[in-house]
Structure 1
Amino acid sequence: MPSPEFLAVIAITCLAVISPGPDFIVTSRNTLVAGRITGLATAFGVGFGLTVHVAAAIIGVGVLLTGSAMAFTVAKTLGGAYLIWLGIRTFRGATNDIPEGGRTAMTPVQGMFWGFVTNATNPKTAIFVVSLFLTVISPGTPLMTQLGYGVFIAMAHVIWFATVALLLSAPAVRAGLLSVKKSMERAFGAALVFFGGALLTGSR
């Protein structure tokens, strides 16, 4: 039977992963622009970004972020600036044009990079992971178990955002979205700028 600790990790992770945020916007945007494969690659990028936060939490580096106001300010400035830049780029690049001949506006590798950087540079995600390891997971929990929790957290994000990519890339859904592609891209861009601005001006 799963331990209470593991059940708590599952519950908190599931609630966190489905909360709308930059990861959702980037995955949705990349799926719309470049299709299913790039959307799935973005989801895996988000999962890889999570491993950065998990590794930092396990080795203790993440505690610096939660305990140092300066470290948190630097992290949120970088993360916020990246989201704003990404949002402006998305908004300005919005178009109704659809690449022909199987070409896409973004390769799967680029999509994975977008997903990775978006997650890895988000200090709010770092705070979530570190807080989980500090408050829910016991210091006496074996290292291998902690690593297992980390793998679960990352895979939960991959599965959720892969599901988002699959749903949005379904022929009927994508056809409908492509009919308003320019407006959708602009909405995605504006949302990223909003999240970036909120990150820059918000507190912990």
Structure 2
Amino acid sequence: MAYLDEFLLIALAHFFAVASPGPDFAIVLKQSIQQGRRNALWTSFGVGLAILLHVTYCLLGVAVLLAQSPTIFMALKYLAGAYLAYIGVQALRSAKPATAEQDNLVPSASTESDWVAFRRGFLTNALNPKATLFFMSLFTLVISQSTPLIVQAGYGLYMALATWVWFSFLSLVLSKQSVRGFFQKSGHWFDRGIGVILIALAIRIVV
């Protein structure tokens, strides 16, 4: 109870951060429509687990190093931009579906494995400078230095679980057949639209 006010402040900040549109939302939307519910849920799990990576380096003090080293942070930004641009280009190059298989929303042979889906979600969040800045701010400005590490770790575990639950909820909604059918009527144009969004996010991250 002694840290309730601090926790509520962190929970509120995290809610607005995770609910705001960004690379995580774009990738979960893409996987939900293109690959289906199972794939999107694994992607969401990867996004949630990546939160623990941010929390870990903050607890270890690496966040201070990143804050004091513009070169390292810029390298992270370029790496994140390149990864999102790569996914975006892949989406832009998607071919127009020509079989009835997709009209019935049946998974095709190109369905990604659970590991690929998990890795995609994990890397999207782990390399996101927006997430890095958010957790650096929390652990250096919001969370008191007198707060025990075990309590700080509890904050981090909560944010990881909350992120996972939020994107899993979105996955369940976006992967409904009615929702997928609406987007898949546009076929490859939806893929290309997502590709443009991902490339735009990549440019935004870098500049």
For the aligned pair, the TM-score class normalised by the smaller chain equals over 0.9
Query: Which of 148, 170, 173 in structure 2 is aligned with 1:167?
Result: 173
Deviations 1:64-121 (A, max 9, x none): 2222111111110111111111111111125335385664521222111100001111
Contact kept, 8 Å, 1:41 with 1:112, in 2: the verdict is yes
Contact kept, 8 Å, 2:36 with 2:107, in 1: the verdict is no
Query: Which residue number in structure 2 is paired with residue 95 of structure 1?
Result: 96
Query: Which of 109, 115, 123 in structure 2 is aligned with 1:109?
Result: 115
Contact kept, 8 Å, 2:96 with 2:187, in 1: the verdict is yes
| Residues in 2 aligned to 1:122 and 1:92: alpha-carbon distance in whole angstroms | 24
Query: Which residue number in structure 2 is paired with residue 152 of structure 1?
Result: 158
Indicate yes or no: 2:124 matched with 1:118: yes
| Percent identical | 36
Query: Which residue number in structure 2 is paired with residue 127 of structure 1?
Result: 133
Q: 1:48 offset after TM fit, Å? A: 1.4
Question: After superposition, where does 1:1-204 map in structure 2 within 5 Å?
Answer: 3-96=4-97, 98=102, 100=106, 103-201=109-207
| Residues in 2 aligned to 1:17 and 1:117: alpha-carbon distance in whole angstroms | 16
Bigger mean CA offset, 86-95 vs 145-154:
86-95
Contact kept, 8 Å, 1:96 with 1:178, in 2: the verdict is no
Q: 1:46 offset after TM fit, Å? A: 0.3
Contact kept, 8 Å, 2:35 with 2:107, in 1: the verdict is no
Contact kept, 8 Å, 1:79 with 1:121, in 2: the verdict is yes
Q: 1:182 offset after TM fit, Å? A: 1.3
| Residues in 2 aligned to 1:124 and 1:63: alpha-carbon distance in whole angstroms | 16
| Residues in 1 aligned to 2:4 and 2:107: alpha-carbon distance in whole angstroms | 52
Bigger mean CA offset, 132-141 vs 88-97:
88-97
| Residues in 2 aligned to 1:150 and 1:129: alpha-carbon distance in whole angstroms | 9
Contact kept, 8 Å, 1:94 with 1:186, in 2: the verdict is no
Contact kept, 8 Å, 1:32 with 1:181, in 2: the verdict is no
Counterpart residue type for residue 3 of structure 1: L
Counterpart residue type for residue 134 of structure 2: F
**Gap regions ≥5 residues in structure 2:** none
Deviations 1:121-173 (A, max 9, x none): 11221110111111111111111111110011111111111111100111211
Q: 1:21 offset after TM fit, Å? A: 0.4
Task: Give the number of aligned pairs.
Answer: 201
Counterpart residue type for residue 57 of structure 1: C
Q: 1:182 to 1:67 in 2, by over 3 A?
A: same
